[in-house]
Amino acid sequence: MVKCSLCQDKAIVKIPYAGLRLCKEHFTKYIEDRVRKTIKRYNLISSGMRVLVAVSGGKDSSTMLVILNKLSKELKFTLYAMHIDLGIGNYSVYSRRTVEKLSQSLNIPLIILEVKKILGYGIPEIASKAKRPACSVCGVIKRYLINATALELGADVVAMGHNLDDIITYAFKEFMNQNLNALAKLGPSTKSIKDLAVSRIRPLYEIYERESLLYALINNITFVKDECPMAREDSLDRIIKVKYFEIEERYPGIKLAFVRRFAKNIQYYQGTEPEFKKCKTCGLLSSWDICSYCRLSFKILGKYMGHDTRNYIRELLKNILIRT
Ligand code: Q46
Ligand code: ZN
Ligand code: ZN
């Protein structure tokens, strides 16, 4: 039996970059400590903050919700969870149920937004009406709904479940496209802009994907194991992830060192962002006169839906805030 580096119990995982083998209990503690350190190192959350956690039901956001719930008592912040029901058949039904169960078991208030209720259609129909890839319209809708909910809720930050492997993948892709403006947004947090955008934070910034998965499995966290049926098998993201996995196997810790250096240098990319604007129809952050969400909704419904969406969220939150 291979023993844990910190106690006499059986090791269940080897962490090559740290030179450790850990048992179940010490691995759990190790991950929680690393998330706590990430929060402190990058100043992501301070005491008294209202934190909105975007939970898809996958392993990363579910793991993040569980860890943040544990840390919320110690670091004294308040948690709210939100889930977007994308209307993607059984995948969305199961994801929603999973998030409901998890937030109920943790006693965290949950806000559910249904894309079908807001825009009349689910993601597959919206994509075909807009003649755009599903992930592209899904990204626009999710970003808008998360930001609008955070603003209406008065959240100080929104916690996103991106792990270290996600960050490297996005960063590499954007670097290849020399899209410096997008690179500027891949740090451990983005800035808040009063009344327009709420800061997004990434507590799993230094957590490997396999660590987040293992944490969920050994702590019996229910999460959605199936991938979204709209995800493309041959996506560039997937190819980059596999390649980086091979590099990490050969040079343990190289990915962690990269995200740390990247976070340190993020300021050099940040001057490249275009000046932000206010959407003329809904009043939220936009790079153009009309934001991507309003333009997309106009294309499929003949109406800019940002304003109505914000009212819908405001009404929905009234009930939730009364209960909490
Ligand atoms: S949910 Fe949406 Fe992902 Fe499905 S449609 Fe694509 S972007 S793959 S994270
Ligand atoms: Zn141990
Ligand atoms: Zn708008």
Per-block average pLDDT, block size 10, for the chain (324 residues)? Answer: 95 96 98 98 97 98 98 97 98 98 97 98 97 96 98 97 96 92 94 93 98 98 94 82 92 96 92 80 93 97 97 91 67
Instruction: Tell me the whole-structure pTM to 2 decimals.
Output: 0.95
CA of 213 to the centre of ligand 2 (A): 19
Residue 154 CB–ligand 1 contact under 6 Å: no
Q: Determine the pLDDT at residue 209.
A: 96
Q: Determine the pLDDT at residue 275.
A: 75
**Both tokens assigned to 223:** 């999460």
Residue 13 CB–ligand 1 contact under 6 Å: no
> Which one of the ligands is nearest to 282 CA?
3
User: What number of CA atoms fall less than 13 Å from residue 171's CA on the CB side?
Assistant: 24
**Both tokens assigned to 267:** 């300021």
Q: Determine the pLDDT at residue 264.
A: 96
Q: What is the CB neighbour count within 10 angstroms for residue 133?
A: 13
Q: Determine the pLDDT at residue 270.
A: 82
Q: Mark out the alpha helices in the chain (DSSP H runs).
A: 24-41, 59-75, 89-106, 115-119, 123-130, 134-153, 164-176, 180-183, 209-218, 236-250, 254-270, 292-301, 306-323
Nearest CA residue ID for atom 1, ligand 1: 228
Residue 54 CB–ligand 1 contact under 6 Å: no
Q: Determine the pLDDT at residue 238.
A: 86
Q: Determine the pLDDT at residue 4.
A: 97
Q: Determine the pLDDT at residue 155.
A: 97
